[in-house]
Homo-oligomer: A and B are copies of this chain.
Amino acid sequence: MKKADVVVLGGLSGITAGISCRRHYPDKKVILIRKEGTVLIPCGIPYIYGTVGGPENNVIPDGLLENNGIELIKGEAVDVDREKKVVTMKDGQEIGYEKLVFATGSVPLIPPIPGIDKENVFPVKKEFDYLSEVHSQMDEVKDLVIIGGGFIGMEFADECRKGRDINVTVVEALPHCLQMAMDNEFCDEAQAKLEETGVNILVNEKVEAILGNGKVTGVKLSGGQELKADMVILGIGAVPSTNLAKNAGLEMGFKNTIKVDRYMQTYNDPDVYACGDCAEKQSFFDGRPTGVMLASIATAEARIAGANLFSPTHQNCGAISVFSTVINGRAFGVAGLTERMATQIGARIVIGTAEAPDTHPGGMPNSCLTKVKLLFSKDTGVIMGGSISGGKPVGEMINVLSACIMHRMTADDIVKFQMGTHPALTSSPIVYPIVNAACKAIIPLKKSA
Interface residues of A (CB under 8 A from B): 12, 15-16, 19-20, 23-24, 26, 41, 43-44, 47, 51-52, 57-60, 64, 294-300, 303-304, 307, 314, 316-317, 319-326, 331, 333, 335, 360-361, 363-365, 392-400, 402-404, 406-407, 409, 412-413, 415-426, 428-432, 435, 439-440, 442-443, 446
Contact = CB atoms under 8 A, between A and B. Distances in A.
Nearest to A361: B58
B322 A415 contact: no
A406 B321 CA distance: 22
Contacts of A331: 422, 424-425
A300 B418 contact: yes
Given A396-B399, A399-B400, A403-B403, 9 more contacts: A41-B428, A58-B361, A296-B419, A300-B417, A300-B418, A395-B422, A395-B426, A400-B403, A406-B417
A399 B404 CA distance: 11
A39 to B, nearest CB: 10
Contact of A361 (B52, B396, B429, B442): B52
Contacts of A317: 416
Contacts of A416: 300, 303-304, 314, 316-317
Contacts of A333: 420, 422
What is the count of identical protomers in the complex?
2
Contacts of A320: 418
Nearest to A409: B407
A69 to B, nearest CB: 13
B415 A303 contact: yes
A264 to B, nearest CB: 11
Contact of A363 (B57, B325, B442): B57
A402 B424 CA distance: 19
Sort A-B residue pairs by CB-CB distance and give the 7 closest, nearest first: A395-B425, A396-B396, A403-B403, A322-B420, A407-B407, A299-B429, A324-B422
Contact of A326 (B322, B400, B420, B422): B422
A396 B396 CA distance: 5
A296 B12 CA distance: 38
Most buried by B among A394, A403, A421: A403
Most buried by B among A16, A325, A409, A418: A418
A424 B330 CA distance: 11
Nearest to A326: B424
A397 B407 CA distance: 17
Contact of A430 (B12, B413, B435): B12
B361 A59 contact: yes
Contacts of A335: 420
Given A396-B393, A422-B326, A424-B392, A430 B60 contact: yes
A403 B407 contact: yes
Contacts of A58: 361
Contacts of A307: 415, 442
Contact of A360 (B44, B409, B412): B44
Contact of A324 (B316, B399, B418, B420): B420
A12 B12 CA distance: 47
Contacts of A402: 400, 417-420
| Residue among A26, A316, A360 having the largest count of chain B Cβ atoms under 10 Å | A360
Contact of A400 (B392, B396, B430): B396
Contacts of A44: 360-361, 423
Contacts of A360: 41, 43-44
A443 B397 contact: no
Nearest to A320: B418
A420 B442 contact: no
Given A58-B361, A424-B51, A297 B418 contact: yes
Which residue, A317, A320, A397, has most C-beta atoms of chain B within 10 A? A397
Contacts of A394: 425
Contacts of A325: 422
A97 B296 CA distance: 52
A296 B396 contact: no
Contacts of A413: 406
